[in-house]
Amino acid sequence: AFTPRVFSGIQPSGGLTLGNYLGALKRFVDMQNAGTHECIYCMVDLHAITVWQDPAKLTAATREAAAFFIASGIDPERSILFNQSQVSGHAQLGWLFSCVARMGWMGRMTQWKDKAGKNSENASLGLFAYPALMAADILLYHATHVPVGEDQKQHLELTRDIAAKFNHDFGVDFFPITEPVIEGPATRVMSLRDGTKKMSKSDPSDMSRINMGDDADTIAQKFRKARTDPEALPSDYAGLKERPEARNLVDIFAALSGRSTDDVMSEVGGMGWGQFKPMLADLAVDKLSPITGEMNRLMADPAEIDRILGRGAERADAIAAPILARTKEIMGF
């Protein structure tokens, strides 16, 4: 039996969005507050460098991501909050797992295909191996549950395949078969300009996303200009099935307010966009502005953020070190 333990992370690559907040941070906080699991949250800087990162910007983005966690409600005493590169077990287990994972498994990852594109000869080797490092991040703590957005589902399946292959190859029952936790209305927040694409910091159009840090006027303007169809909202959620842009705005509303989509539809069904969009903008400003205010306050004291992350790394390493040592022993080191 494994201790109920959550691991998840975000990349400190700059440009945090409402998608990161609703798909990841808000749910990380909910899991911490539920009190059912020991929670370990990480700035995955070793993942960020699979594509080029300017060193000074990486440092700043790491502190910004840490501030985002704390401002959103992660308590660095109750949860463990740290920076991946400060716990050497991640890189070590990542290498061991890159000798367990198969080339074919990696080649099937849709994120690899999307990010490397047609120019895969020029992609970093790390970008290809990324899911093996991600498996190491999770299994280094014997994490049983990983809250993530829908886009990470395939990587979680690969983590399970690596754990199962390791256990099978060495005839042990050492690594847990980790469960993804992908639930709630906002596991895939979509672009405000195109209902078929996920909201992302890498979209060239700033109007496609709400950034953490956007001011009230900008948020209102982005929702006002969000693409929708001309029809009013239907009476129930099922009526949004073929209307991805409209559904996305309802999903965002539900996730921000912590209500079910059915409950939201019972209030907003029949409304026109001229009424719903300002309501959505007000709600978003209400929920996001205290977070960005608190982020700014925290980032004014970078030494304190570094101290919190240093302490988190010590606590993470205390769990990781014996698991890594046992892994090496099993493998014959």
Maximum Cα interatomic distance, the chain, rounded to a whole number of Å: 66
Considering only the stretches 120-128, 185-193, 288-296, 310-318, report the one whose residues sit in contact with ligand ADP under the rule CB under 6 A: 185-193
Please, where are the H alpha helices in the chain?
A: 18-20, 26-34, 45-48, 55-72, 89-98, 103-107, 110-116, 125-139, 153-170, 216-224, 244-257, 261-268, 273-299, 302-331
Nearest approach in angstroms of CB 109 to ligand ADP is 13
Q: Cα separation of 276 and 270, whole Å?
A: 10
Rg (CA), the chain: 21
Element (H, E) at 204: none
Nearest approach in angstroms of CB 189 to ligand ADP is 4
Residue 152 interacts with ligand ADP (CB under 6 A): yes or no:
yes
CB 5 within 8 A of CB 37: yes
Considering only the stretches 135-143, 182-190, 217-225, 238-246, report the one whose residues sit in contact with ligand ADP under the rule CB under 6 A: 182-190
Q: Annotated binding residues for L-tryptophan, as ranges?
A: 137
113 catalytically annotated = no
Q: Annotated binding residues for ATP, as ranges?
A: 11-13, 19-20, 149-151, 189, 198-202
Q: Cα separation of 100 and 13, whole Å?
A: 28
SS3 146: strand
Residue 317 interacts with ligand ADP (CB under 6 A): yes or no:
no
Listing DSSP states for 247-268 in one string gives: HHHHHHHHHHHT--HHHHHHHH
Q: Which of 127, 112, 111, 1 is nearest to 53 (CA)?
A: 127
Residue 53 interacts with ligand ADP (CB under 6 A): yes or no:
no
328 catalytically annotated = no
Catalytic residue among 115, 153, 165, 287: 115
Q: Cα separation of 116 and 51, whole Å?
A: 10
Residue 154 interacts with ligand ADP (CB under 6 A): yes or no:
no
Strand partners, 6: 39, 145
Residue 149 interacts with ligand ADP (CB under 6 A): yes or no:
yes
Residue 189 interacts with ligand ADP (CB under 6 A): yes or no:
yes
Catalytic residue among 57, 165, 201, 287: 201
198 catalytically annotated = yes
Nearest approach in angstroms of CB 70 to ligand ADP is 16
Give 41 or 276: the residue with its C-beta nearer to ligand ADP: 41
Considering only the stretches 15-23, 129-137, 246-254, 256-264, report the one whose residues sit in contact with ligand ADP under the rule CB under 6 A: 15-23
Question: Taking CB under 6 A as the rule, which mask of x and - marks residues 291-310 in contact with ligand ADP?
Answer: --------------------
Question: Taking CB under 6 A as the rule, which mask of x and - marks residues 192-211 in contact with ligand ADP?
Answer: ------xxxx----------
Do you know the residue count of the chain? 333
User: Which residues are at the interface with ligand ADP (CB under 6 A)?
Assistant: 10-11, 19-20, 23-24, 148-149, 151-152, 187-189, 198-201
Q: Annotated catalytic sites, by residue?
A: 115, 198, 201
